[in-house]
Amino acid sequence: MNLQTEKLEIVRMLLNTNDKGLIQEVKALFKSHEADWWDEMSGQQKEVILEGLAQADQGQTVPHEEAVKMFGKWGLR
């Protein structure tokens, strides 16, 4: 059985069940396999984000209106 056929079979089984416990178990299984986006980022991406958060904590921010003016030439509105 190919992957698409297996997925369709699982969907069929879910649609045909009235077992709320089973549905909750399937949902829990999917949630346990969700990747944390932070863990998917490179070290460099994490560093840049942490640097930006530190700057924001120190009040080094730019108001939205000013950012729109600065980056408006690239289509930001």
DSSP annotation string for 15-51: HH---HHHHHHHHHHHHHTPPPHHHHS-HHHHHHHHH
**Same domain (yes/no): 29, 43:** no
Range of the domain at 28: 1-34
pTM of this prediction?
Answer: 0.47
Most distant pair of Cα atoms in the chain: their distance: 57
Predicted local confidence at residue 46, as pLDDT = 96
Are 52 and 16 found together in one domain? no
Total count of domains within the chain:
2
Q: Which residue has the higher pLDDT, 77 or 54?
A: 54
Residues 26 and 57 in one domain: no
List phi, psi (to 5°) of 59. 80, 10
Residues 30 and 46 in one domain: no
Residue 43 shares a structural domain with residue 30: no
pLDDT in the model for residue 77? 67
**Looking at the structure, do residues 73 and 57 belong to the same domain, yes or no?**
yes
List pLDDT tens digits, range 8-50.
999 999 999 999 999 999 999 988 888 788 988 999 999 999 9
DSSP state of 74: G
Q: How many residues does the chain have?
A: 77
The pLDDT of residue 72: 84
